[in-house]
């Protein structure tokens, strides 16, 4: 089963490890910086279109973030 908490942790870790500031990420995504802060804290999940852009900006594999490999093994 895909667990939302695990996905939130992966998003937060990717943002922290990116080397970009939350403000830089927000500008690239076209969202407010406070949204990025919410993603890092795990308070909110990005909308699907924002998630796709976030993966592109941070050069992330969406399948990895969404734990698709774990889900397909169940």
Return all residues near 12 (Cβ < 8 A) that are at least 6 apart. 39, 40, 41, 42
In the chain, where the domains are located: 4-72
pTM of the predicted model, to two decimals? Answer: 0.86
**Topology given in CATH for the domain delimited by 4-72:** 434 Repressor (Amino-terminal Domain) (1.10.260)
Locate 46 and state its tokens: 């990005």
Q: What's the whole-number mean pLDDT along residues 42-67? A: 94
Tell me what pLDDT residue 73 has: 61
Question: Rounded CA gap, 5 and 33, in Å?
Answer: 21
Question: Rounded CA gap, 40 and 53, in Å?
Answer: 16
DSSP 8-state secondary structure symbol assigned to residue 56 = H
pLDDT value at 1 more than 70: no
């Amino acid at each position: 089963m895909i667990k939302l908490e695990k996905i939130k942790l992966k998003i937060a870790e990717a943002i922290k490890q990116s080397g970009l500031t939350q403000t830089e990420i927000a500008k690239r995504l076209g969202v407010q910086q406070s949204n990025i802060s919410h993603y890092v804290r795990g308070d909110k999940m990005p909308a699907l279109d924002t998630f796709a852009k976030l993966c592109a900006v941070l050069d992330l594999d969406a399948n990895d973030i969404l734990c698709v490999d774990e889900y397909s093994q169940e």
